[in-house]
């Protein structure tokens, strides 16, 4: 009698009840690993597994090479920097993500962080909790987004949604830096392309990061880029923490070289109040900190679960898996994949 196919899902704290229930109803053996599971534990479970579902867990080459039955890796989310994709390609194991499920959701999160910073939500809420009221003194004087200049570092799916919300909703002037997107495509999204990152940063009242993390973008916003920003400008990052040089960001905030920051992502997660390189940010009134949850709402998770299952069954049934991402690391795959047609980056 043939044993049922085995699926391993990491990061079980991110609940996926529809995915888990459906896989089990289809007769598959499902193993859930917690966020804290070691690489050795993952390698042991993948030794006889047919499919890996992962979100945050690192999947190095030795784990992939030690999984002889593995038919595919599904990232239930967007970022793929934790997977050794080169190792998967060598084995002919397709890797796929789910890039579209939270485009507007994360864009709304970025806009919420911008508003929270501009309107001083954090210090006002602290004052209300401590004293019950706040009188209109200079300490609480807030600002508008309307009419200000927004700079996008990365003008992909989420960046374009931010551009629409900011431009049409708040009448913001939107600039964009992205070497992989042409001026015509940006103009169609209401964004004016700027080829030099520091030149763009110097013009902005708000900077919002929407790049993928790879070797090209790691610490893309570093000491010199932060120094190019206006002292009155704010930085928002809902993409990946390591795109920003976080040590340089802490120094810039402590020295008052920029006005504030709104962060949902960190190079080292989870964030902590003690013993973390960014722990000092918790005490800053001009810094909004979220726990990597801009994607986390009911509508987005429903979309995520449905598409994750579609990708799972394509792989398990031996069909080419649909790659919707434009990331060149995924587009370079040749085995077991088919590609969605994207509009050209003119």
What is the model's pLDDT at position 3? 80
Q: Which of 64, 228, 226 is nearest to 237 (CA)?
A: 226
Q: Is 292 a catalytic residue?
A: yes
DSSP 94: -
Put the strands of the sheet holding 72-75 in their side by side order: 29-32, 6-9, 51-54, 72-75, 95-96
Rg (CA), the chain: 21
What is the model's pLDDT at position 6? 98
Q: Are strands 72-75 and 149-153 parallel, antiparallel or unpaired?
A: unpaired
Q: Is 127 a catalytic residue?
A: no
What is the model's pLDDT at position 74? 98
Cα 116–chain centre separation:
19
Contact 103, 157 (CB under 8 A): yes
Q: In this structure, what are the phi and psi dihedrals at residue 6, rounded to the nearest 5 degrees?
A: -115, 130
List, for residues 9-52, the tens digit of each pLDDT value. 999 999 999 999 999 999 999 999 999 999 999 999 999 999 99
DSSP 2-13: PPPPEEEE--TT
What is the model's pLDDT at position 155? 98
What is the model's pLDDT at position 2? 72
What is the model's pLDDT at position 341? 77
What is the model's pLDDT at position 8? 98
Contact 265, 239 (CB under 8 A): yes
- Cβ-count burial 243-255 (b if 16+ within 10 Å, e if not): bbbbebbbebbee
Residues written for the chain: 346
Find the catalytic residue in 160, 240, 311, 326: 240
Find the catalytic residue in 91, 164, 292, 329: 292
Residue with tokens 């920051």: 261
Q: Which of 247, 241, 211 is nearest to 226 (CA)?
A: 247
Write down the pTM of the prediction. 0.89
**How far is the C-alpha of 18 from the C-alpha of 273, rounded, in Å?**
34
Q: Is 15 a catalytic residue?
A: no
Low-confidence ranges of the chain (pLDDT < 70): 1, 342-346
């Amino acid at each position: 009698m043939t044993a049922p196919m085995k699926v391993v899902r990491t990061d079980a704290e991110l609940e996926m009840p529809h995915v888990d229930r459906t896989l089990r109803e289809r007769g598959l053996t499902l193993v859930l690993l917690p966020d804290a599971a070691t690489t050795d534990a993952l390698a042991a479970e993948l030794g006889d597994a047919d499919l890996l579902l992962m979100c945050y867990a690192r999947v190095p080459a030795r784990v992939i090479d030690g999984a002889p039955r593995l038919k595919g890796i599904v990232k239930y989310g967007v970022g793929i920097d934790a997977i050794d994709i080169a190792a998967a390609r060598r084995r002919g194991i397709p890797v796929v993500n789910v890039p579209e499920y939270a485009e507007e959701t994360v864009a709304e999160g970025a806009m919420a962080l911008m508003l929270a910073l501009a309107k001083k939500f954090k210090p006002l809420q602290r004052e209300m909790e401590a004293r019950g009221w706040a009188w209109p003194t200079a300490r609480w004087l807030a600002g508008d987004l309307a009419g200000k200049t927004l700079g996008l570092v990365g003008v992909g799916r989420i960046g374009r949604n931010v551009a629409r919300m900011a431009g049409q909703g708040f009448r913001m002037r939107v600039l964009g830096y992205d070497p992989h997107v042409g001026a015509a495509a940006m103009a169609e999204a209401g964004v004016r392309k700027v080829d030099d990152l520091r030149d763009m940063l110097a013009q902005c009242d708000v900077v919002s990061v929407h790049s993928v993390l790879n070797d090209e973008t790691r610490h893309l916003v570093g000491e010199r880029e932060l120094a190019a920003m206006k002292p009155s400008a704010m930085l928002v990052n809902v993409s990946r923490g390591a795109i920003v040089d976080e040590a340089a960001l802490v120094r810039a905030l402590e020295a008052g070289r920029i006005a504030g920051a709104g962060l949902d992502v960190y190079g080292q997660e989870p964030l902590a109040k003690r013993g973390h390189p960014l722990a000092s940010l918790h005490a800053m009134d001009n810094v909004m900190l979220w726990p990597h949850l801009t994607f986390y709402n009911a509508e987005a998770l429903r979309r995520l679960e449905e598409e994750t299952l579609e990708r799972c069954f394509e792989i398990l049934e031996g069909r080419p898996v649909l790659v919707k991402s434009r990331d060149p690391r995924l587009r370079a795959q040749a085995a077991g994949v088919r590609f969605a047609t994207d509009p050209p980056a003119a």
